[in-house]
Amino acid sequence: MKSKLLSCKPDLDREGLQKSWTGKESGIRYYNFVLEFENGTKGIASSTKTEPYWNKTGREYSFVVEKKPNFPDKIKDIKDDNKEKYDKPDFINNRNPYNNEIDIYIARQVAYEQATKTFMNLDMTQFEDVAKVKLGIEALSNKYLNYLTSSGIENVTLSRQQRIIKQNVLKRAIEQIDIPILLIKNSDMIIERAREIEKYILNKGT
């Protein structure tokens, strides 16, 4: 079956996080996406990447649809048969700024997951109730999101490579910075450390 892709969005759970699962034998993590095609086909596709190559709307893909009773249709074996007709990948020509829905969903998910991880490393007795913990996670998530989506230079957008680097270095910074009590200055230390690692990686690669 062939058709042009109308939309590709992360398959989200009730908390707004992208659904994922791990292969029993391989141990590989897969991310779910909701795909909708011009011919009316709609279903769930899985990829080991948070940004699969078949996420570009307007392109024609060939695919197989597997019907699943009481579940959304499963879309698999997605192929771009006309790959040579299109431009070079975005990471080569650097034309993929942080402005599409999938990018933002991924950034929000990474930010929220890392904010939650930061809180889990704290002494939770400092918080009076669960509601305050939730508010704290949301506030820190927004702070992390700002780091992940900002180039730091006005009117300059991030390339795909820069986005991936930022996500990885934020995780490493959280692992390296030990903060017993969560204060604004403590979370600033994490962001600053992430910037240091990012700068090191970018300079090493030039």
DSSP 17: P
Backbone torsions φ then ψ of 65, nearest 5 degrees: -105, 125
Predicted local confidence at residue 41, as pLDDT: 95
Q: What is the spatial distance between Cα 58 and Cα 61, in angstroms, rounded to a whole number?
A: 9
* 172 contacts: CB under 8 Å, gap ≥ 6: 194, 197
Tokens of 203: 């300079």
CB 33 within 8 A of CB 52: yes
Q: Compute the residue count for the chain.
A: 206
Predicted local confidence at residue 115, as pLDDT: 84
Backbone torsions φ then ψ of 185, nearest 5 degrees: -65, -30
Q: Which of 17, 19, 15, 16 is nearest to 30 (CA)?
A: 19
Q: What is the spatial distance between Cα 43 and Cα 65, in angstroms, rounded to a whole number?
A: 8
Predicted local confidence at residue 155, as pLDDT: 54
Residues forming beta bridges with residue 2, ordered by sequence position: 62
Alpha helix positions (H), the chain: 90-93, 101-120, 130-149, 160-176, 184-204
Those residues of the chain that have pLDDT short of 70 are 82-103, 121-132, 152-157, 178-186, 204-206
